[in-house]
Structure 1
Amino acid sequence: MPTFYDRFVECAERWPQNAAVEVQKPDGVESYTYAELRGLAESIGSWLVRNAMPPGERIAILADNHPRWVAAYLGIIAAGGAAVPLDTAYHADQVAKLLKDSGASLLVCDAKHLEIAQEAVSGTEVGIVLTESEGRAWRAAPTQSATDGQPRAAVPTQADKQPAAGIPTQAERESVPVGSPAITDFDSIFAGQNGAFTPVPRGSDDLASLLYTSGTTADPKGVMLTHANLLGEAGGVFAWAHIGPEDAILGVLPLFHVLSQMANLLLPLVAGARAVFLSTLNTTELLKALRERQITAFAVVPQFFYLIHDRIFKEVAQKRRLTRVAFGTMRRVTVFCRKIGLNPGRLFFGKVHELFGKKMRLLVTGGSRFDPQVGRDFRSLGIDVLQAYGLTETCGGAFVNSPRHNVIGSVGKALKGVEAKIVDAQTSDDGSPASGEIIMRGPIVMKGYWNRPDATAQVLKDGWLYTGDLGYFDADGNLFISGRKKEVIILSNGKNVYPEEIEAHYLQSPIIKEICVMGMEGAAGGDKLFAVIVPNFEALRQRKVVNTREVIRYDIEGLSAKLASTKRISGYEIWQDDLPRTTTRKIKRFEIQKRVQARKGADAAGELAAVKPLTHEEKSWLERDDVKRALKIIRDYSTSAPENIRPGDNLELDLGLDSMRRVELLVAVEQEIGGDVPESELANVYTVREMVDAVRESAAMGSKAGEGARPAHTFAGWSAVLREDPTDPAVTTITNSRPITDTVIFLATRLAGFIWRAFSRIDVEGLENVPSSGSFLLCSNHQSYLDPAFLLVILPFKTLRNLFAVGTSEIFGTGIMLRMAKLFRVMVVDPDANLIPAMRAGAYGLRHGLGLVLYPEGERSIDGTPRIFKKGAAILSIHLQVPIVPIAIEGFFESWPRGKSFQKFAPLKIKIGKPMIPPPESKASEEAYAKLTTELKAGVEQMWKGLDRASEQRKS
């Protein structure tokens, strides 16, 4: 049976002048023909054989993607050895461990990883072979083949004699102490090649490659892939889709990963195709390669498609409404056409298709879960992203969707020659298909784990590979992956939960960038679902949200309500750094869980020790006198400041400052070091440094601390903030008289009340407690979108015509809702992003004798119960010296709960309490705000409980 190298030689003899490998660089393209690549490989193979490398010897590779990496791999196999590719992210101790485990006698590395390589082989007999020499500008010159006279071996011509960075010179190599690892390089090997080379014959069951599974350096398991495995994988893929000399396959994953080795080395080099790599991996270079290198196939992890998807739909969202409507219409037409075998996607969305290149025909993703919605979105643009599935133990690919029938959400059907089935399937009580462990057998299944008969016996049984992955087949034989067996969370009630399923649900929130769900032991024993959440700070900045915890909690509550109770997360913590992942973007769950458990017992100093050190520039910044004074104030205001405040500390997540407290802090910092930060800048301030620098820059442009009187508009606390009139015309017009409009609204609300009472009832108690004149605040618990409308229904005309409210732009910012806001005197501002304008707008209306409808919770309740009250109402009440009228409502949640559409005409109950008189403004303080807020919540909560009990009694 031929080996992988034999198949490569056939291609090199058939298409010697065809490009085999290309590297796109910022300044051009470095290309190698099949003849040149074969020459490089056989020069390396010949050197290995001349140095008495026995068949089956393991040789490790630690280098970035490059044609010489490919040449090293081919040369090792040509010499009868086995290649051991190593993760370039490994530290020296990890490399040393795998070198020892594999028994490798040589380590091939590039200049970038030479230092790690030297440390890893220190004290061993492992030699080092550099892929580069002192002069790296060289070109291969042909010599004679042993059999056919075709160009073969590469002889360098060193045009540039300057040593490459990090590479030892010849003099340095000669001065290496006795006992240190020997160092040679490929250029010396190429220059010393003399005569013909005959590849060492190997059997189909002999070892070709030894790949270490990701994330297993603590307990390394080397996957043994034979020559038969490699050709079995190639045969399966070629039966799935044609790959030939006309194809170019782009590779961005590192070659030490099995997916990249198969897709970007094995497949192209046994089909006469062209493998394309990038010297610099970034979005610009990647898109340039897709556009210019005539790429026809691209296999990559899902993250790439997420980035492109995000880019496309963000750009569309910024277009005019007509463009957005047209885009949506064309997508729907494309979806319909594809159902009948037509694809107008390239016609409708030509610019999107051009991102992937004009010749692209195969887009494949694998390595980690692929969001089905992203797949559906691409399909609606006329682009098929084919999801694949496999393991290192199966040469990377075992299942893949068909280009002719892409079943989104599945990984398709097994490659030719592969058998698969589900064992130990467990039924589900939520209607989802029964999942069990996926097992498979066939020519792609590994020989076993290197020197690990115990581990091999656990996964290879009677020729079947037990993958440890869970899934199910549909009626057509398409495989759907449910999760990983060892990652299944078993709850205290015995239910199995698949974390990826839960994560996909919560990732529907645009402000959650990443989430890892795990089982944590609850108070009563048994696992509860816990999550680590990484916010999408870019989305938060775009929405000008500074209260990260609040908006995440709000979204978590809303999404949890749509899940079965057993699948809801019961707790979470927020991380600001990205979650640790493998090369293929799989979450390192056990590492995260270990960190979570460690953090629960860690003190602040212990946690601080793990953060990256300050830069020299940051240290200099902290030494500035004005910065030190500002940090002292910040520490006093913070509720959870660490001992050493860092420039990058998040004001909310690290220091515990909510939006109200941030304003108070800003005032204090301004008073200390001067300056007057524009209100428009406050929504862009997230970190300690951003706040301090904003004040410092403002001070440099205007007043300085200690210069005496400051401008009248400079903040001096809430009293000064609220005394200043707003400049927005939409706010100042709320005091305008409009008798006709108010009369129409009054009649409309009465009609709405009449209609509701025709189906149900509205009970009102305490209406006499609403002041008949003067300013006041109406503060109610918040259950539904119906709440403010029915306050208008019950109030008399004299009160109704003097009411106003503050609403968010998220609800009232555009279209008909914006017109409704103007009609009902709702001032559209964002209390979170623009807190000062919002508070100032409320103060303006109150100062002009109007009543303000304000919901202290700031959001609708997820379950109908009163939630946390914010102190905005207390601040306005104290500084404007207006009473707060507490109101409790019930039944609104049953009629229209959060996260759902209108449900029913439920009985509505409204109870209005006696006005609460604030303390004198001279008593204003943080304690006074908190006390009045607590009293307000207690009053509302007490009335609500009475209404709730009455509702329960009526039901019974």
Structure 2
Amino acid sequence: MHARPRSRSPSASPHAGGLADSLFTTAAENPALPMLARRPDPASAGWERITAVEFRDEVVALAKGLVASGVSPGQRVAIMARTRYEWTLLGHALWTVGAEVVPIYPTSSREQVEWILRDAGCVAVLVEDEQGVMTVGSVCAGLPRLRHVWQLDGGALEQLVARGEFIPRATVDSMRRIVLPDSTAVVAYTSGTSGHAMGCALSHRGLACMSDTLLAGWGHITAPAGEQPAVLAFLPFSHVYGLMIQVLCVRGGLLMGHEPDISAESLASALRTFRPTYLYAVPSLLEKIYKNFLRASQLAGRGPLFERAAGTARDFAAAVERQRLGRGSGPGLDLRLQHALYERTVYRRLRATLGGRVLRATSGGSTLDRDLSLFYEGIGVYVHDGYGLTETSGGVTMQPFGREKSGTVGKALPGTEIQVAGDGEILVRGPSVFQGYGGDEDATRAVLRGGWLATGDLGRLDAEGYLTITGRKKDIIITSSGKSVAPAALEQRLRMHPLVHQAVVVGDNRPCVGALITLDPEFLNDWRAALSLPGDAPAREAREENALREEIARAVAAANSRVSRSESIRVFRVLPEPFDVANGLLTPSMKLRRDEIVRRYALEIDAMYQSRIRPGLAPASDEPSVWDDTDDVFR
């Protein structure tokens, strides 16, 4: 296989046994250690903590109930619930008896639920509420292997515990001890942005190696010395990133709080009251937090102050980065003084909204904008941008401690190798690579080539081994003139504007690149209120539309400043509603269904391009002279 030079790190230590073993070890060695936390109710400021021995005993009691219900090693049980304590409890009980966990997003459609339950051959499924029971019930007729539908809010776990009271503890212990490290622990389904989702078989060894590697190399930065690290889990356990956090916390003895409600209000309350020492997040959340900082400052009349402070934070972080990479002397005196001033007046208040104890974070799921990374580092919360896939049990790269480089996703984790093939595709090899797509040997052979996983992602390795992600192979846009454009960076930059909620770059077989944009309703309302336009209603509406068009055009221009002219967005349209799971335009993991978006808005896209052609000129090329930049389509 033709490939460019690779990045390699030292090998990780081998792993033996199943994922549940670490819980039993911790409970024996440090029984009083607080391991898990949950709020009794969403409005509560207090958190109930569960010690290692309490958690182990609950796991054993539930595992006995699973045995009594006929769940045996190798059988598959689906968990269709939000990020709750009970998810972690049932997952470890299933691993204790050698069963396999099949995560399902609770927001999944009826068709998605039916496909996963049938494809995985699940014998049971745990749902949260009556709605989940109805969804599963509507497809049960086509699922002959499905024997149990357990409703969490209907007392299902308590019923299972009662059912298993007669099972000896020794039965559970013997079942746990025969779980092999290469046994399948999780069958995680890909997001399915096109076609059916495919089940990735992840082994106990793969998930354990990934977590142990991160703990060995970066565990010391998850809390100040002498403090127990605390992590707030709010990302879905149905996604491999959230699942990796769960495994990492239990194996590493980090206190893990559970927050099932990811609304802005609930999450803000959870952060303030739980006060994590380390934050695991995704770029969209970090973007939203930044925008909320900006919005709160604007509403308080301190918008210009925040923008100056944010600029200083980025400049300060960039200077610190040059210093740690040996490329500069660090921040000058004036910059240090400005930064110290804003630390007292702005930055510490921003950190307080995250609980006041977070000094570092990890971002995953997609790449993080360099300017946003520098902003967080500048206010005192360094964000490690990493890279991983479902097929790699989570992580592939991480920022090396003390040599972090914003704008990249870091270097290969210990034990993992990375190559970049001649066409730019990232190839990965290591102990965490998955076992294959269940029941689909052709798909498995297509991505596992000579021991290397073809990720489908595009990137580049620099001379020091840092990886930069540039996009997905299947997302590349090819204009009618043959220009290839990766949409991710443009979309990322567009979303940094406060008014922009979502962006999808289009342009396949078109004369230039275009964009479909949705607006953030909260910022839009504030923006409208701040306009205070004179005149009667029709006149105000016309002026408002013009002003909004100009504001979005500025966002587009800012995004275009990072790319060449031929790659820049030349047309755009603002859509009246967002892309979401309910309208079928986002996957349950919140990824864009690009093909469906293009199909759904085909007429709008056609109109967007047609309005850009000057009379008497045909769009034979994407030369700028063909287009009139004054008539962007707005709707």
Counterpart CA distance in 2 for 1:326 and 1:449 is 48
Q: Quick one: which amino acid aligns to residue 413 of structure 1?
A: K
Q: Name the SS for the 2:592 alignment partner.
A: coil
- The aligned counterpart of 1:466 is 454
Distance 2:85 2:449 in 1: 39
Change (3 A) 1:521 1:337: closer
Pairwise CA distance, 1:131: 5.1
**What is the deviation of 1:470?**
0.3
1:704 aligns with none
Q: Which amino acid aligns with 2:99?
A: G
Q: Partners of 1:568 and 1:529 in 2: how far apart?
A: 6
- Flag the 1:250–1:862 CA change in 2: closer, same or farther, 3 A: farther
CA contact (8 A) 1:21 1:33 kept: yes
Kindly indicate whether the alpha-carbon contact (under 8 Å) linking 2:505 and 2:514 is maintained by their aligned counterparts in 1: yes
CA pair 71-591 structure 1, distance change in 2 beyond 3 A: same
2:245 is equivalent to residue 230 of structure 1 = no
Question: For each residue in 1:471-529, what CA deviation from the matched residue of structure 2 results, as whole angstroms up to 9, or x when unmatched?
Answer: 0012221110000011111233333210113334545655443220123434xxxx642
In the alignment, is the contact (CA less than 8 A) between 2:126 and 2:152 conserved in 1? no
Mapped to 1, the partners of 2:433 and 2:420 lie a distance apart of 17
TM-superposition CA deviations, 1:280-308 (whole Å, max 9, x none): 33333323333332412221111221122
Q: Is the 8 A contact 1:222 1:449 kept in 2?
A: yes
Matched, 1:541 2:528: yes
**506 and 275 in structure 1: CA distance in 2 versus 1, 3 angstrom threshold:** closer
Q: Which amino acid aligns with 2:481?
A: N
The residue number in structure 1 matching 2:257 is 276
1:192–1:63 CA distance, 2 compared to 1 (3 A): farther
Distance (whole Å) between structure 2 residues aligned to residue 440 and residue 532 of structure 1: 33
Contact kept in structure 1, 2:198 and 2:437, CA below 8 Å: yes
Aligned mate of 1:477, from 450, 465, 473: 465
In 2, Cα distance between equivalents of 1:262 and 1:485: 25
Alignment of 1:267 onto 2:275:
no
Q: Using the alignment, how far apart are the partners of 1:371 and 1:356 within structure 2?
A: 20
1:14-413 to structure 2, matched below 5 A, reads 14-24=29-39, 25=41, 26-27=43-44, 28-112=46-130, 113-125=132-144, 126-130=146-150, 132=152, 185-189=159-163, 195-196=169-170, 197-200=172-175, 201-215=178-192, 218-242=195-219, 246-263=228-245, 265-316=246-297, 318-319=301-302, 336=319, 339=323, 349-413=347-411
- Measure how far apart 1:413 and its partner are: 0.8
**Which amino acid counterpart does residue 597 of structure 2 have in structure 1?**
I
- 1:554 and 1:311 mapped to 2: Cα distance? 22
* Whole-Å separation in 2 of the counterparts to 1:37 and 1:209: 21
Give the Cα–Cα distance (whole angstroms) in 1 for the partners of residues 219 and 191 of structure 2: 30
In structure 2, distance between residues paired with 1:262 and 1:561:
36
Amino acid at match of 2:98: G
Q: Which whole-Å CA distance do the structure 2 matches of 1:326 and 1:517 have between them?
A: 31
Counterpart CA distance in 2 for 1:514 and 1:479 is 26
CA distance in 2, matches of 1:567, 1:530: 10
Query: For residues 573 and 328 of structure 1, do their structure 2 counterparts lie closer, same or farther at Cα, with a shift above 3 Å needed?
Result: closer
Q: Is the 8 A contact 2:504 2:517 kept in 1?
A: yes
Residue by residue over 1:814-845, the C-alpha shift from the partner in whole angstroms, topping out at 9 and shown as x without a partner, is xxxxxxxxxxxxxxxxxxxxxxxxxxxxxxxx
* Equivalence for 1:514: 502
Aligned position for 2:572: 572
Give the match's secondary structure for 1:449.
coil
> 2: distance between equivalents of 1:128 and 1:52?
10
Q: Which stretches in structure 1 are left out of the alignment for 5+ residues?
A: 137-153, 157-184, 426-435, 603-652, 654-860, 869-956
- Distance in 1, matches of 2:35 and 2:219, equals 17
Letter of the aligned partner of 2:198 in structure 1?
Answer: K
Moved more, 472-481 or 349-358: 349-358
Per the alignment, residue 494 of structure 1 pairs with 482
Maintained 8 Å contact 2:66/2:164: no
Alignment size in residue pairs: 550
d(CA) in 1 for partners of 2:495, 2:604 = 24
- Report the Cα distance in structure 2 between the residues aligned to 1:104 and 1:41, rounded to whole angstroms: 21
The RMSD of aligned alpha carbons is: 3.4
- Structure 1 position 559, deviation (Å): 5.6
Q: 1: CA distance between counterparts of 2:432 and 2:517?
A: 38
**Amino acid paired to 1:541:** R
1:3 to 2, 18, 21: 18
Shift of 1:397: 1.2
| Offset at residue 275 of structure 1 (A) | 1.2
% same residue:
25
- Cα distance in 1 for partners of 2:262, 2:154 equals 25
Give yes or no for the alignment of 1:12 onto 2:27: yes
Task: Indicate how the Cα distance of structure 1 residues 128 and 571 shifts in structure 2: closer, same or farther if over 3 A, else same.
Answer: same
TM-score by length of 2: 0.78
Distance of aligned partners of 1:552 and 1:93 in 2 relative to their CA distance in 1, 3 Å threshold: same
CA distance in 1, matches of 2:61, 2:306: 59
Q: Name the structure, 1 or 2, with higher relative contact order (CA <8 Å, separation 6+).
A: 2
Shift of residue 49 of structure 1?
A: 3.1
Residue 323 (structure 1) shift: 8.4
User: 1:530-584: CA deviations, max 9, x gaps?
Assistant: 3212234534414536215742675478569855342133543331211233455
Aligned to 2:444: 456
Q: 1:510 to 1:87 in 2, by over 3 A?
A: closer
Looking at structure 1, the residues matched to 629 and 513 of structure 2 have their Cα atoms a distance apart, in angstroms, of 25
Could you tell me which amino acid in structure 1 is paired with residue 183 of structure 2? Answer: D
User: Residue 394 of structure 2: SS of its match in structure 1?
Assistant: coil
AA aligned to 2:381 is I
CA shift, 1:374, in A, is: 1.3
CA gap of 1:109–1:567, structure 2 versus 1, over 3 A, is same
Secondary structure of 1:242's counterpart equals helix
Letter in 2 for 1:114: V
SS in 1 for 2:64: helix
Residue-by-residue CA offset, 1:768-821 (whole Å, 9 max, x unaligned): xxxxxxxxxxxxxxxxxxxxxxxxxxxxxxxxxxxxxxxxxxxxxxxxxxxxxx
Any conservation in 2 of the 1:520–1:530 contact (CA below 8 Å)?
A: no
Alpha-carbon distance in structure 2 between the residues aligned to 1:252 and 1:322: 31
CA separation in 1, counterparts of 2:125 and 2:475? 35
The 1:557–1:268 alpha-carbon spacing in structure 2 relative to 1, beyond 3 Å, is closer
Q: Distance in 2 between matches of 1:327 and 1:509?
A: 14
Query: What is the alpha-carbon distance in structure 2 between the residues aligned to residue 398 and residue 404 of structure 1?
Result: 19
One-letter amino acid of the counterpart of residue 515, structure 2: A
Q: Distance in 1 between matches of 2:374 and 2:199?
A: 37
Aligned to 1:854: none
Query: How big is each residue's C-alpha offset from its partner over 1:829-881, in whole Å with a ceiling of 9 and x where there is no partner?
Result: xxxxxxxxxxxxxxxxxxxxxxxxxxxxxxxx99998967xxxxxxxxxxxxx
CA 229–335 in structure 1, closer or farther in 2 if over 3 Å, else same: closer
Change (3 A) 1:326 1:31: closer
In 2, are the aligned partners of 1:250 and 1:277 still within 8 Å (CA)? yes
Alpha-carbon distance in structure 2 between the residues aligned to 1:70 and 1:561: 44
Per-residue deviation, residues 346-379 of structure 1 (Å, max 9, x unmatched): 6562212222234324311111232221112222
> Alpha-carbon deviation of 1:460?
0.3
Distance 1:75 1:866 in 2: 61
Structure-2 separation of matches of 1:392 and 1:561:
32
Q: How many Å separate the matches in 2 of 1:100 and 1:322?
A: 56
